[in-house]
Amino acid sequence: MHEFKRLKLKNGVRVILVPQKQSLATTVAVLVEAGSKYEVKSNNGISHFLEHMCFKGTTKRPKPMDIAKDLDSLGAQYNAFTSQEYTSYYVKARNEVFDETLEIIADLYMNPTLDAAEIEKEKGVIEGEINMYEDMPQRKVWDVFMELLYGDQPAGWNIAGPKETVKKFTRDDFTSYRGKHYLAQATSLVIAGGFNEKGVMKKVETYFSALEKGKKDGKKKVMDKQSTPAEKIHFKESDQTHLVLGFRAFDAYDERKYALQVLSDILGGGMSSRLWQTIREDMGAAYYVNAAPDFYTDHGLIAMSAGVHHNKAREVVTAGLKEFERMKKELVSPAELSRAKDHLIGNFFLSLEGSDQIGYFYGGQEVMNMKLHDPKHVAKAIKAITAADIRAIARQLFKEKTMNFSVVGPFRNTSFGDILKLS
């Protein structure tokens, strides 16, 4: 499979090397424990905005064009993203330009100028991005769902933040936030692909040993309680109703996650899944329908989502609930269990073909302070799941009092509460 090495610089920066001799490319990714969960109400959105600003100029490359030009001249693929738990920057390029790749990503991560004029310009870009997501109901419904589950705390806020907050950010806000979070002990560096291992750590040390350690600001524990089913309807004149129906689960460190992954695959993991066959094929009520779990450092969820005809929304919800209920009552058949495991493992291994994908497989575990497992471990854990495990986890999680339902569509003064029921 994949050999990997976990090392650490003297200042605490964690380094993961995943050599792949057959790979034509190498990915260098930096991941830092600085996501929207580390924010407060007054700076919601700053993690995401700071991610943008790291591409807007460094001490060595003072203009955005300087960074873009140098990366493009390498023929590189590059980007960054912000999640609730962390922010990441990556560059993927051919092996021959690894040294240049490492230097550039270190520069943009370590030395952003955070120019005040660039900040003002970028506010318009961020506002445009927020507006874009508002116009995407298939995505918006998930924002509504997370707000329903977690309310007025970081886990329930939009990662990009509200426009009125974003408009107020100053350079001091960025330098203050960065100084509290972009620290050595909170930083993980992943190098995966066909790079030459010889001398690589010396190069890493050259660029990253200057990163300061300091005192890291933490985050508040997520309040994750519920005693009655809840719904949230977001009115939008859309051509399709988008809905999410789900339940609270557990965090990413819980070993029950493998059983929940298999359950989710049976429920809505592909074209042979129960939800697909019932809602799309038999009812003809939706174009897309699926189910999946989502795990974080101190909470988690499992949910189905679908885009349905407006007049069939209630039918789809009822059909979905029947499938959730069925998981609690019946043992899945040996054939269905085997098919789901093969589908999960097969897709998982296919997802690790690129240097960027395998890099983030290990990097994601590291930045969330998880024990590092290789793909074989994951496959073995999935294979070990039994039908009894699946029914047990369904009985633990699929309870009416922890049910949540969000909708984006043309609904005013409407409630689905009368059908949000489980026995």
Give the tens place of pLDDT for each residue, 261-279.
999 999 999 999 999 999 9
What is the rounded (10 degree) CA torsion for 130, 34, 168, 211? Answer: -130
In the chain, ranges of CATH 3.30.830.10 domains: 5-208, 230-419
Q: Specify whether domain 230-419 bears CATH 3.30.830.10.
A: yes
51 is catalytic: yes
78 - beta bridge partners? 91
Q: Residue 62, exposed/middle/buried by CB under 10 A (0-12, 13-18, 19+)?
A: middle
pLDDT of 3 reads 86
pLDDT digits (tens, 9 = 90+) for 66-118: 999 999 999 999 999 999 999 999 999 999 999 999 999 999 999 999 999 99
DSSP for 145-182 reads HHHHHH-SSGGGS-TT--HHHHTT--HHHHHHHHHHHS
pLDDT below 50 — which residues of the chain? none
**Coil, strand or helix: which one is 56?**
coil
Say which of 33, 39, 51, 85 is annotated catalytic. 51
Residue 344 tokens read as 């999960």
What confidence score (pLDDT) does residue 330 get?
97
User: Which of 205, 253, 202 is closest to 11 using CA atoms?
Assistant: 205
* Answer CATH for 5-208 from 3.40.640.10, 2.30.30.90, 2.50.20.10, 3.30.830.10: 3.30.830.10
- pLDDT value of residue 423: 76
CA nearest neighbour of 386 among 262, 237, 230? 262
